[in-house]
Amino acid sequence: MSIRHGLLALLERGPMYGYQLRSAFEESTGATWPLNVGQVYTTLSRLERDGLVRALPSSDRSQRPYEITEAGRAELASWFATPVDRGDRPRDELTIKLALALTTPGVDVRSVVRNQRAATLRTVQELTRLATPDPRPEGLPARLVLDAMLFQAEAEIRWLDHCETTLLRFASPPTAAADDARKASGVD
């Protein structure tokens, strides 16, 4: 529901029409997640259907500005006031992929880990390159978005490394016989 609330937040600045909303959204989120214009209109329709926004009467039929309603303001305030919970988050594809790779026959988990690590490392480098200091206050939101992506990517690297070392301790000897060997040697 990020787009819904995102548009509501933008309309809290004042009435805007679809095309403007798209530019404003992409400016705030730093073009990290491009937003199709069509999506803006469909989302606006749904917001209007739900009474959270209202189309303004406009002389210019080529631009249809919307304004946020009282119900919209309430919804928005509730959004900002409620922290994002762990249970709210969508399933993380990478986590699922690795978890399942462990028990899927014919899959070389370590190469999956290493491939992902290389890709994520490239992401880190690209993000670091993009996140050049921009002292203008207008650039602040986009900057923080980049930082968020960067922090996440770095955490992903750490997790992948953690996975690799854990795999070494656990699954390096793939046969059951090796299990006995580990037990006998008294590791951990």
Partner DNA sequence: CGACACATGTAACACGTTACATGATTTG
Partner DNA sequence: CAAATCATGTAACGTGTTACATGTGTCG
Kindly state whether residue 166 participates in binding a second copy, applying the rule CB under 8 A: yes
Instruction: Give the phi and the psi of residue 178 in degrees, each rounded to 5.
Output: -65, -30
Rule CB under 7 A: choose which of 14, 59, 62, 184 binds DNA: 62
Kindly state whether residue 25 participates in binding DNA, applying the rule CB under 7 A: no
Question: How far is 36 from 22, CA to CA, in rounded Å?
Answer: 8
27-46 residues in contact with DNA (CB under 7 A) are 35-39, 41-46
Question: How far is 67 from 14, CA to CA, in rounded Å?
Answer: 7
Q: How far is CA 143 from CA 9, 27, 62, in A?
A: 19, 11, 33
Rule CB under 8 A: choose which of 36, 57, 59, 84 binds a second copy: 84
Kindly state whether residue 2 participates in binding DNA, applying the rule CB under 7 A: yes
Question: How far is 87 from 140, CA to CA, in rounded Å?
Answer: 29
Kindly state whether residue 135 participates in binding DNA, applying the rule CB under 7 A: no
Residue type, 124: V
91-130 residues in contact with a second copy (CB under 8 A) are 91-107, 112, 115-116, 118-120, 123
Helix residue spans in the chain (DSSP H): 2-11, 18-28, 37-49, 70-81, 93-101, 109-130, 140-171, 176-185
If contact means CB under 5 to 8 A according to the sort of partner, which of a second copy, DNA, none does residue 105 touch? a second copy
Kindly state whether residue 95 participates in binding DNA, applying the rule CB under 7 A: no
Closest CB 145 distance from a second copy, rounded Å: 5
Under the rule (CB under 7 A), what is the footprint of DNA?
1-4, 17-20, 35-39, 41-46, 62-65, 90-91
